């Protein structure tokens, strides 16, 4: 049953047990489009006990903006909280050996209060680094910076973080380096050994927490995906040969709704990854509808179909440890900042809409979690 745009948000809030938050919802003044039958289904986090697969989502806004409604929604749907930015280097160590823990600590508290676990994102990345890191000039300084940063963060949050994305996005075939390695500050100063070093440092600081290598861009029947699959697999092989302590492979899963999956190649890629002993996690799922045609309902349906097709492929190879989306509701998606539709309409890549109502993509997730 779909309700019209004039349904007062307060009624939805009451039905969802959010009456105390109704005033804040009303001030948002967005017409509700709640499908009440869908809204009343048990939240995704309740399903993980039976399925063994945790549902997570990344967010920046709820903590930063103290958005009580969104906080409530995240806590009711998700087992895992991923800080979208707060653990990145530019925030945690903005100056050499000066660490800022206020943001991440507040997220750890938020997660603990709501009986959620926290996924640490991320220790070593080419982006979101402060100027002083971008200007590092010698291998010795780069190594010292990595040692101090990883040791400090991983030790501080030992026992509070469920899994760490230790290295994020180490390949970029378009950068033109041998083997498709990304031309990052770490690669330039330390070579590909920086990946092995980072994982060993993380393992030394925390012997038990699962450690993950996180990457995107393997899904489609095009040269970009093909090169990324090939280069990623070669790197994963190499890391296994060196006994690098990596437990999981994080599939970011930023999908493009208008592209065609390469079922066969993606399946073979995932089989090879699993065959090397890596556990899969889906870490940043969203479906970009920048090129999708149609009205909102048609786009939502296409986004859901695309997500289902993808989850089918991944689950046919191995059940991932977790499925996480990069944001929970369309209002807060990073994609609205980076991609603009030709018709000027805002993107709708996530399981909840701008008004926090469940969309068809939510139902797809509920089928897999």
Interface with ligand XIL by CB under 6 A: which residues? Answer: 84-85, 168, 252, 284, 334
Residue 248 β-bridge partners? 212, 279
- As measured in angstroms, the least distance from the Cβ of 84 to ligand XIL is 5
Question: Which of 252, 226, 256, 224 lies closest to 339 in space, CA to CA?
Answer: 256
Nearer to ligand XIL, 32 or 87 (CB): 87
- As measured in angstroms, the least distance from the Cβ of 284 to ligand XIL is 6
Burial class (CB in 10 A: 0-12, 13-18, 19+), 80: buried
Nearer to ligand XIL, 335 or 366 (CB): 335
Helix ranges restricted to H, 35-138: 36-39, 44-51, 61-64, 68-77, 89-92, 102-113, 131-134
Cα angle at 131 between 126 and 137, to 5 degrees?
A: 75
Question: Which of 157, 137, 242, 140 lies closest to 202 in space, CA to CA?
Answer: 157
Question: What tokens were used for 76?
Answer: 């009711």
Residues 6+ apart with CB under 8 A from 331: 353, 354, 355, 356
3-state SS string for 109-175: HHHHHCCCEEEEEEEECCCCCCHHHHCCCCHHHHHHHHHHHHHHHHHHCCCCEEEEEEEECCECHHH
Residue least distant from ligand XIL (Cβ): 334
Nearer to ligand XIL, 81 or 334 (CB): 334
Q: Is 186 left (phi over 0), alpha (psi -120 to 50) or beta?
A: alpha
Nearer to ligand XIL, 9 or 122 (CB): 122
Element (H, E) at 214: strand 211-215
Question: Taking the C-alpha atoms of 135, 141, 143 and 146 in order, what is their torsion angle to the nearest 10 degrees?
Answer: -60
Measure the CA–CA gap between 361 and 356, rounded to whole angstroms: 13
Nearer to ligand XIL, 3 or 336 (CB): 336
Nearer to ligand XIL, 60 or 221 (CB): 60
Helix axes 223-241, 263-275, angle to 10 degrees: 10
């Amino acid at each position: 049953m779909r309700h019209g745009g004039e349904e007062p948000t307060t009624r939805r809030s009451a039905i969802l047990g959010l009456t105390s938050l109704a005033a804040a919802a009303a001030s948002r003044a967005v017409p509700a489009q709640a499908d009440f039958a869908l809204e009343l289904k048990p939240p995704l986090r309740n399903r993980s006990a039976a399925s063994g697969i945790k549902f997570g989502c990344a967010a920046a806004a709820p903590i930063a903006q103290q958005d009580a409604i969104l906080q409530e929604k995240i806590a009711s749907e998700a087992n895992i909280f991923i800080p979208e930015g707060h653990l990145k280097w530019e925030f945690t160590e903005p100056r050499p050996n000066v660490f800022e823990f206020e943001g991440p600590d507040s997220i750890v508290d938020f997660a603990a209060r709501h009986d959620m676990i926290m996924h640490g994102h991320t220790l070593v990345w080419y982006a979101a680094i402060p100027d002083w890191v971008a200007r590092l000039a010698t291998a010795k300084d780069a190594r010292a910076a990595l040692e101090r940063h990883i040791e400090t963060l991983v030790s501080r949050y030992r026992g509070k973080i469920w899994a760490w994305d230790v290295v994020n996005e180490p390949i970029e075939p378009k950068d033109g380096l041998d083997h498709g390695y990304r031309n990052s500050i770490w690669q330039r100063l330390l070579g590909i050994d920086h990946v092995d070093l980072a994982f060993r440092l993380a393992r030394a600081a925390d012997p038990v927490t699962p450690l993950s290598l996180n990457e995107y861009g393997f899904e489609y029947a095009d040269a970009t995906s093909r090169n990324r699959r090939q280069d990623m697999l070669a790197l994963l092989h190499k890391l296994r040969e060196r006994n690098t302590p990596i437990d999981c492979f994080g599939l970011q899963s930023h999908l493009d709704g208008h592209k065609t999956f390469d079922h066969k190649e993606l399946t073979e890629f995932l089989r090879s990854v699993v065959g090397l002993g890596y556990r899969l996690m889906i870490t940043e799922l969203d479906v970009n509808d920048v090129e999708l045609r149609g009205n909102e309902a048609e786009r939502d349906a296409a986004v859901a179909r695309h997500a289902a097709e993808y989850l089918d492929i991944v689950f046919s190879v191995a059940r991932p440890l977790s499925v996480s989306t990069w944001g929970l509701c369309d209002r807060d998606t990073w994609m609205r900042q980076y991609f603009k539709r030709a018709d000027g309409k805002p993107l709708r890549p996530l399981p909840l809409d701008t008004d926090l109502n469940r969309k068809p993509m939510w139902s797809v997730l509920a089928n897999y979690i």
